[in-house]
Each structure stands twice: as structure tokens, then as C-alpha cells.
Amino acid sequence: MKKVIIPNLLKALILIAVPFAYAAYVYPNLPDTIPTHFNIRGEADAYGGKDNIFLVPGIMAIVGLFVFLLLSNIKKIDPKRYKAVDDGLYKKLAFFIVVILSLISFIIIFSASDHSIDIGKLLLPTLGLAFAGFGWYMPKIHQNYFAGFKLPWTLENEDNWNETHKLAGTIWKYGGFVQAIAALLLPNEAGFIVFISITLIMIIVPTVFSYSMFKRGNAI
């Protein structure tokens, strides 16, 4: 029997459609007013009509499809081609992003439809694991204008790019796991503060490292 190969775009569209299907499933049983925003304690602090249940998956669908098409076609549109772009890597990264955005949509819909669910114990750990996943990809990403730490110094020098992304990959992998664990074990407010603090470290440390390497003449 011939193996059926499902195109990546179709897989992405199916994943994007799953939150919409779930929203349509819970919609008839929703109250007229549902939570539309949660504070750092995981408590609902804004409400709207139940039609808002489709807002988040709509936004995530647009963002996810745009990012998927961008990364899947990066070789064709990125003018910075120091190396041949690994199409397989970028397509996997594009699919990974769609998975994460669809999962976030699902979590938000789930939390909005069931007020007993603590969104902080679902959303932040998911984001932490997503950062860890991005950390795995980072050292493998070649110079480009669309993914990674696109700083003047990394785009100017390939060694700077590579060393910055090696460091960033390590920080993001371990930092993401710490974020996930902290969000699960700590109270929501403390978990959120830890999450934001580690996110700042993830951004600032590789940026400072990259600039310092540039000031040293990009010496490793």
C-alpha cells in the first residue's frame, strides 16, 4: 500500500482549526459572559460576550499561518544567504510554532469555559516549555533576517551570530524548564514574576554577549 504523505501546510491548517472546533463545541454551553483577561494571580479581571471565545483562536490562527508560511519559505525570501538554508530545520520550527500557538489557544478557551481552571498553572508552564524548545533550535539556525537574535552585530558577522545563538540556546533550554517548574510549584503571582525575570535574562544576556563580542573585534 502506498504511504499517504500529508503536506506540512495541510498539517498546519488542521492544527490551526482544532481550537476553532473546540470553541464551537463549548460555545452552546457557555454563559452569556465569559472571562476575556486574567491578572498575574490567574484571576479573571475582564469579561465579554461569549462570542469572544473565537477571538483568541482567530488571532493565533493569523499569526501562526503567517509565521508558518514565512519560515517555510525563508530560503526564497531572505536576502542574507551566508550558507544554504536548511529547509527541513525551518519547516520543523514553523510547525513547532503552530503547535505552540494552537495549544495556547486551546488553554485559553478551556480556561474561559471552565472558571474552576487555574490558567496560570497551564499557560505559563506551556510557554516555558516552548522557550525550552526554541532553545533547542537556536544553535542550529543560520544567519537570517527572520528568526533568532537579529542584532546589528550578529547580522554583520557569522561568528558573532553562531556564538550568540549557542549561548542563547543553552540559556533558553534551561531557563524554559525553570520557568515551567516555577509556574507549577509557586503561587501564581510569584511564578509570574519568576517567569518574567527569566525571560528578561534570556533576552538581555545573549544581547550583551553579542555586543561585547563585537567590541572585541568578534574574537571568540
pLDDT at 36: 64
For helices 8-26 and 55-72, give the axis angle rounded to 10 degrees.
180
- pLDDT tens for 121-162 read 788 888 999 999 899 888 888 887 777 888 888 888 888 888
Rounded (5°) CA angle 18-35-191: 85
Query: Which residue stretches of the chain have pLDDT < 50?
Result: 1-5, 82
SS3 letters across the chain: CCCCCCCHHHHHHHHHHHHHHHHHHHHHHCCCEEEEEECCCCCEEEEEEHHHHHHHHHHHHHHHHHHHHHHHCHHHHCCCCCCCCCHHHHHHHHHHHHHHHHHHHHHHHHHHHCCCCCCHHHHHHHHHHHHHHHHHHHHHCCCCCCCCCCCHHHHHCHHHHHHHHHHHHHHHHHHHHHHHHHHHHCCHHHHHHHHHHHHHHHHHHHHHHHHHHHHCCCCC
Cα 217 to chain centroid distance, Å, stands at 33
> What pLDDT is attached to residue 140?
85
Looking at residue 169, its pLDDT comes to 92
pLDDT of residue 54: 84
pLDDT at 5: 46
